[in-house]
């Protein structure tokens, strides 16, 4: 099976390439090529702007009678994309550029003008040096001086870069921070000095003596000077709930006392220790209250036990009546 893409072709043994007739072409023959515009231009017919790099189907031909050191110069034909007017430009091997010939004008390019001006000044300088040797010597001394200045500038840049490479970044940052701190302190000192000057101007008279305020005879109360919000913060308000809590705590304390569970309150009368001391006993209940007075002889224990029994009996009778 033969190859899809043939790389080697068959040549018969009696093949003679000189026997092949050469095709004759005219010297001004044109070829169709695909190109991109080498510079930005503007059509002279319709004013359409054609930017650099726009693709065109162009015709190429060799310019007759124009060469640059045996280098051929070519001309290209394109059409304006808006009005289809013919635009031509040709190569410029001397300046390695293209030259607008017909149908369009090249846009202004400042770097191109500077280059052309530099080349013209260089040509004029060469012409002067050919006829004037002293002028040539002056130009050489000026050029050498400029070259020395450039070298000195390069050496300075190299030394500065080497010095910057040796600098520690942390130390540099610390130095900057210290400078900021010193600057802030100086600003604070200036502000304090201004405040002191202002205070001195206000509280000192012309002679330099300090002016003091005379104290009032009747100084107001501090609470009167406070606002309502400040008074509420300093003096807390006791609500009804707080009072109820206090009453509940007092009731609990009374219940913990001995004898309070029976509802008995014993009151002693102060008398001489030699005589018998009468004790009044009150039994309290929710509905009524019964009171009993008992004379207790401190020398008799039996009487004390009997009085306690009577007290308990009185409490029991009071509870029965309540039921």
- Please enumerate, by residue number, every residue annotated as part of a binding site: 43, 46, 80, 83
82: left (phi over 0), alpha (psi -120 to 50) or beta: alpha
- What is Dmax (Cα atoms) for the chain? 176
Q: Which residues are annotated as a binding site for Zn(2+)?
A: 43, 46, 80, 83
Q: In what order do the strands lie in the sheet containing 289-296?
A: 264-268, 277-284, 289-296
CA 255, 261, 262, 266 torsion-angle sign: negative
CA distances to 56, 108, 124, 134, 301 from 95, in Å:
24, 17, 18, 31, 147
Concatenating the DSSP letter of every residue in 197-250 gives HHHHHHHB-TTSPBP-PPPPSSPPPHHHHS-HHHHHHHSPPPPHHHHHHHHHHH
CA 152, 156, 157, 162 torsion-angle sign: positive
């Amino acid at each position: 099976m033969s190859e899809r893409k043939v790389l080697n072709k068959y040549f018969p043994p009696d093949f003679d390439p000189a026997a092949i007739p050469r095709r004759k072409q005219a010297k001004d023959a044109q070829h169709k090529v695909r190109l991109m515009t080498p510079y930005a231009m503007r059509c002279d017919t319709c004013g359409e702007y054609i930017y650099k790099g726009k693709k065109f189907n162009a015709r190429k031909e060799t310019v007759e009678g124009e060469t640059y050191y045996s280098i051929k110069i070519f001309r290209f034909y394109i059409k304006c994309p808006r009005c289809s007017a013919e635009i031509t430009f040709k190569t410029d091997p001397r300046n390695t550029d293209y030259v607008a010939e017909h149908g369009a004008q090249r846009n202004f390019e400042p770097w191109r003008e500077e280059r052309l001006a530099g080349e013209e000044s260089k040509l004029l300088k060469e012409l002067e040096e050919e006829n004037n040797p002293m002028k040539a010597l002056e130009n050489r001394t000026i050029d050498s001086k400029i070259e020395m200045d450039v070298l000195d500038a390069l050496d300075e840049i190299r030394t500065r870069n080497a010095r910057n490479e040796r600098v520690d970044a942390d130390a540099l940052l610390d130095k900057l921070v210290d400078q900021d701190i010193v600057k802030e302190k100086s600003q604070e000192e200036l502000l304090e000095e201004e405040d002191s000057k202002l205070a001195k101007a206000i509280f000192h008279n012309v002679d330099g003596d300090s002016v003091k305020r005379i104290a009032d005879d009747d100084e107001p109360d501090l609470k009167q000077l406070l606002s309502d919000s400040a008074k509420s913060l300093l003096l807390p308000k006791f609500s009804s709930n707080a009072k109820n809590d206090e009453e509940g705590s007092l009731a609990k304390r009374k219940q913990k006392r001995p004898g309070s569970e029976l509802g008995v309150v014993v009151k002693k009368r102060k008398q001489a220790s030699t005589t018998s001391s009468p004790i009044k006993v009150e039994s309290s209940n929710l509905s009524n209250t019964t009171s009993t007075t008992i004379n207790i002889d401190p020398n008799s224990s039996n009487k004390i036990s009997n009085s306690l029994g009577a007290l308990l009996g009185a409490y029991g009778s009071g509870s029965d009546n309540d039921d």
